[in-house]
Amino acid sequence: MRNITDKLLSRGVEVLTDAELLAVVVAESTSDERAVATAQELLRLNGGSLVALLDGDVARLRMSAGIGLRRAMLLKVSQELGRRVAVARAAAVEQYISSDTDVVRLMEPMLGCLKHEECWALYLASSGKVLERVRISQGGVQATVVDCKLILKRALELLAVEVVLVHNHPSGKASPSPQDRELTQRVDEGCRLFEIRLLDHVIIAHGDHYSFRAHNLLK
């Protein structure tokens, strides 16, 4: 751990490897030389992936490499701190949407780690500026119920020109279900009645996403 401490203090935390970052979190103290080996074993057990490692719940993590409850909790807390920082940074600046990539950048920190489905609507001005982000619904592991009237009501209140639907798939598979396709069609038809454009419907999954517009399912 002494080498990691020196490296961090002299060159900054960003130069640490994945294993070194994990070692700092799971170390019992700054003199715990076993921490690097523990971190390497944690990564090995998860195919070398930080995402796969941190996607596990506390109960599973505590059994990995024998790290126990306290260090498993530290890992999950570190993950949640990072997520909240990303969400706060995104909310602190004006956001503009011009592509599905912009949608993912804005919403993935909020939705990417959830174990249940949530559906959000982004309301846009003619410039593409995000007027408001609204959570429309949240549900279980496989589905959430969305009321189209609520989406349109808020769009009219904000005088939004465009709407983007965003929801997550905790399963990790971004491809749309028949229910997702039906929802997209219903919201698109409702928006057209008020001369509002459904710009896109983006599904976010772990490290992946699906855009209805990119797949030519919206005009």
Query: SS3 for 132?
Result: strand
CA nearest neighbour of 115 among 71, 174, 56: 56
pLDDT confidence of 182, banded at 50, 70, 90?
Answer: very high
Answer for the pair 208, 197: CB distance below 8 angstroms, yes or no: no
What's the pLDDT tens digit per position in 92-128?
A: 667 899 999 999 999 998 898 888 899 999 999 999 9
Answer with the residue of higher pLDDT: 140 or 74: 74
Answer for the pair 42, 33: CB distance below 8 angstroms, yes or no: no
Q: What is the pLDDT, as a whole number, of residue 78? A: 92
What's the pLDDT tens digit per position in 50-97?
A: 888 888 888 888 888 888 999 999 998 998 888 888 877 776 667 899
Answer with the residue of higher pLDDT: 17 or 83: 17
Q: What is the pLDDT, as a whole number, of residue 144? A: 65
pTM for this predicted structure: 0.71
Gap between the Cα atoms of 107 and 139, Å rounded: 17
Give the domains, in start order, of the chain with CATH numbers: 2-87 (no CATH), 95-211 (3.40.140.10)
Q: What is the pLDDT, as a whole number, of residue 55? A: 81
Gap between the Cα atoms of 65 and 61, Å rounded: 8
Q: What is the pLDDT, as a whole number, of residue 142? A: 55
- Residue 200 sits at φ, ψ, to 5 deg, of -165, 160
